[in-house]
Structure 1
Amino acid sequence: MRKHRDDFTIDMFTGWTPPRVSVGFEPDAFPGTRLASRISRAIARALKDCGKDRPTVAAQMSERLGYKVSKDTLEAYASEAKTQNNITVERFIALIHVTGKTELLGFLAEGFDMAVIPKRYENVIELALIEDHARMIETRKRTLQAEIRRTK
């Protein structure tokens, strides 16, 4: 008997992939061992992908920080060749705010074997940790009960 295939319904096992939970660029997006080069490439990527031109980003960063950040300064941060122009933490934070590219936060965390997640997932993770702990307690409880029965 030939089975009819429904092309309009997503197969729940092959037609869906879970969304990425953490923020960040794709794994190994900026290979290499020189951290300054990797940071420059991450900044360049964020600037390219944010949908704003660099003069606009510089002006919005300037407004947010309360002092001037020039387009040339942004260009230097995004250039691997400009080794004397490293971005400060406050400017990096302003860059993330202005570009909306939270992937930069994930880029930082990745170096510490950590992940950055949206706050809405925090309770889900805490619940999973509590459930893991409850399983450990239940396992220990059963082990102790078995030992007590053996010693009677």
Structure 2
Amino acid sequence: MAQLDKRTLDLFADWTPPRVAVGGEVVRAHPDVDARVSLAVAQTLRDCGRPRDEVAAAMAAYLGRPVPVATLNNYASAGQEGHCISLARAVALVAATHDPRPLADELAPLGWAVVETRHLHAVRASLARQRAAELTRLARQEEALWRTVS
């Protein structure tokens, strides 16, 4: 039987993996939009680490009108027919929890993404480089055509 090396420190002894919000696959897999939104709301509320009454209060502060906890609970329940969160309240939920998944999960299949503002300039720079490359390619094509007719 091999003996353990007692001189080497265990670098991972006190390490715990970071909490990563996954689960979008489950949400996106549901065929009903209202149910997907409810699942995303429930997941966001579960992962934010705050009691629902605090989240409801933060949403109310954002909106300037009351958001009852019972209504928030209904939004998070896929079984509550006719209780789908409005866009305004979904935005307030994102503002209260700092979690864009309720919006992002529905936009992703449409080819759109929710990006933090701090990354927006990088996205725009990439788009500008792509546009510049396309214009350079187009200019070369036009020059080649011009040379053939001159």
Residue of structure 2 aligned with 1:40, choices 33, 38, 45: 38
TM-score relative to the length of structure 1: 0.71
2:30 & 2:121 partners in 1: Cα distance? 35
Deviation at residue 128 of structure 1 after TM alignment: 2.2
Cα 1:84–1:26 shift into 2, 3 Å: closer
Which residue number corresponds to residue 131 of structure 1?
129
Could you list the structure 1 runs, at least 4 aligned residues long, displaced by more than 4 angstroms after superposition: 24-27
Richer in helix (by share) = 2
Query: Distance in 1 between the 2:131 and 2:97 partners?
Result: 40
Distance of 1:58 and 1:144 partners within structure 2:
59
Question: Whole-Å Cα distance in 2 between the matches of residues 27 and 51 of structure 1?
Answer: 18
Residues 74 and 151 (structure 1), Cα distance of their counterparts in 2 relative to 1, 3 Å cut: closer
Aligned counterpart, 2:26: 29
Comparing 54-63 with 41-50, greater Cα deviation is found at: 54-63
Partner of 1:62: 60
Q: Distance in 1 between matches of 2:149 and 2:86?
A: 65
Q: Structure 1 105/140 Cα, relative in aligned 2: closer, same or farther at 3 Å?
A: same
| Contact preservation (8 Å) 1:41, 1:78 | yes
Q: Give 3-state SS (helix, strand or coil) of 1:29's partner.
A: helix
Q: What is the percentage of aligned positions where both structures have the same residue?
A: 27
The alpha-carbon distance between structure 1 residues 88 and 130, as it changes in their structure 2 partners (threshold 3 A), is: closer
SS at match of 1:139: helix
Mark the runs of 5 or more structure 1 residues left unpaired by the alignment: 1-23
Relative to the length of structure 2, the TM-score reads 0.71
Task: Give the equivalent residue in structure 2 for 1:17.
Answer: none
Instruction: Find the aligned partners of 2:38 and 2:145 in 1 and give their Cα distance.
Output: 60
Matched ranges for 1:1-152 at <5 A: 28-30=25-27, 31-151=29-149
Counterpart Cα distance in 1 of 2:140 and 2:83 = 60
Answer yes or no: is the 8 Å Cα contact 1:25–1:104 preserved in 2.
no
Q: Please give the root-mean-square deviation of Cα atoms over the aligned residues, in Å.
A: 2.4
Q: How many pairs does the alignment contain?
A: 129
